């Protein structure tokens, strides 16, 4: 027999039992055993299914919340990088900022600005701008993004690095494993450009990831570069 004191507490506050999942499961299981093996408890089966469904909904809810926080964090990250990119007052400082503060804020291990030009990359005026700037011959960007395949060129391409990446990353080519390629349009009459974000983590940039934030960042970068180029 149940103790009178415990019985009185249950009668006085029955909701405490209803809110305790473990206690309710134990009571339902005891009820099923009391009915015997020859009786199918449809109510118990229905409750089990509802409980499993609730667990799945809670998992989905947690996943949605985690994704929302991750998206918010990514948005704030890109916004900070844009503000840092707008601070420099000279093109040389702008490039230095890309390789330092902006790259750190975006959490990438290497950042390259690729500009197609008929001017030689060995020009002293270009060399003094640092290793962030990579000057290539016309057609380099389309060929690099395509990687030797006949595929349409998207505004943002996420992938693991390819063998031809060595020339682009230089000394860092040995440990850059994934990259984001942002195509840049500098306006009519100008050759295209590309912003390259390289990461040591081979899974930091994957084709299955969303590209909206990077596309937004590329749009701001294009407009900033047009002012410098003019």
pLDDT tens sequence across 92-128: 888 889 989 999 999 999 999 999 887 655 555 555 5
- Residue 26's pLDDT is what? 76
CATH of the domain at 139: 3.30.450.40
- Residue 193's pLDDT is what? 92
The answer to whether residue 56 is domain-embedded is: no
- Residue 129's pLDDT is what? 63
The answer to whether residue 36 is domain-embedded is: no
**Range of 105's domain?**
77-229
**Distances, alpha carbon 85 to alpha carbons 92, 166, 220, 224, in Å:** 12, 26, 9, 9
84 or 37: which leads in pLDDT: 84
The answer to whether residue 26 is domain-embedded is: no
Q: How confident is the model at residue 91 (pLDDT cuts 50, 70, 90)?
A: confident
49 φ, ψ (degrees, to nearest 5): -65, -40
The answer to whether residue 48 is domain-embedded is: no
List, in order, residues 6 or more apart from 72 with CB less than 8 Å away: none
What is the distance between the alpha carbons of residues 190 and 143, in angstroms, rounded to a whole number?
18
Mean pLDDT (the chain) is 82
DSSP per residue over 187-215, as a string?
-TTS--EEEEEEESSTTSS-TTS--HHHH
80 or 150: which leads in pLDDT: 80
Q: How confident is the model at residue 74 (pLDDT cuts 50, 70, 90)?
A: confident
The answer to whether residue 20 is domain-embedded is: no
- Residue 45's pLDDT is what? 66
The answer to whether residue 210 is domain-embedded is: yes
pLDDT exceeds 60 at position 141? yes
| Structural domains of the chain, count | 1
- Residue 72's pLDDT is what? 73
Query: Cβ(159)–Cβ(179) under 8 Å?
Result: yes
Query: Which residues face 178 on adjacent strands?
Result: 160, 199
The answer to whether residue 222 is domain-embedded is: yes
pLDDT exceeds 90 at position 220? yes
- Residue 81's pLDDT is what? 92
Name the 3-class secondary structure at 37.
Answer: coil
What is the distance between the alpha carbons of residues 175 and 195, in angstroms, rounded to a whole number?
19
14-67 residue pLDDT tens: 777 777 777 777 777 776 666 655 555 656 666 677 777 877 887 777 777 766
- The top-scoring range by mean pLDDT among 69-83, 157-171, 210-224 is 210-224
Nearest-10 crossing angle of helices 42-86, 212-229: 10
List, in order, residues 6 or more apart from 113 with CB less than 8 Å away: 95, 98, 132, 133, 134, 193, 194, 195, 196
The answer to whether residue 25 is domain-embedded is: no
């Amino acid at each position: 027999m149940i103790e009178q004191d415990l019985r009185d507490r249950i009668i006085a506050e029955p909701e405490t039992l209803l809110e305790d999942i473990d206690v309710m499961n134990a009571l339902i299981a005891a009820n099923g055993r009391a009915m015997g093996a020859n009786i199918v408890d449809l109510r118990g089966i229905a409750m089990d299914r509802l409980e499993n469904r609730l667990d799945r909904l809670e998992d989905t809810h947690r996943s949605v919340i985690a994704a929302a926080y991750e998206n918010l964090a990514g948005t704030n990250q890109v916004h900070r990088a844009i503000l840092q990119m707008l601070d420099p007052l000279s093109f040389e400082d702008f490039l230095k900022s890309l390789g330092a503060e902006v790259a750190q804020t975006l959490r990438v291990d290497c950042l390259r600005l690729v500009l197609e030009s008929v001017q030689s990359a060995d020009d002293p005026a270009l060399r003094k701008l640092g290793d962030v700037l990579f000057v290539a011959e016309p057609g380099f960007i389309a060929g690099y993004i395509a990687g030797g395949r006949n595929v349409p060129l998207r505004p943002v391409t996420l992938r693991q690095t390819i063998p031809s990446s060595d020339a682009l990353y230089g000394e860092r080519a040995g440990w850059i494993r994934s990259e984001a390629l942002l195509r840049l349009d500098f306006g009519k009459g100008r050759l295209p450009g590309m912003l390259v974000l390289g990461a040591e983590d081979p899974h930091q940039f994957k084709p299955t990831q969303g590209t909206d934030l990077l596309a937004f960042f590329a749009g701001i970068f294009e407009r900033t570069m047009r002012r410098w180029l003019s």
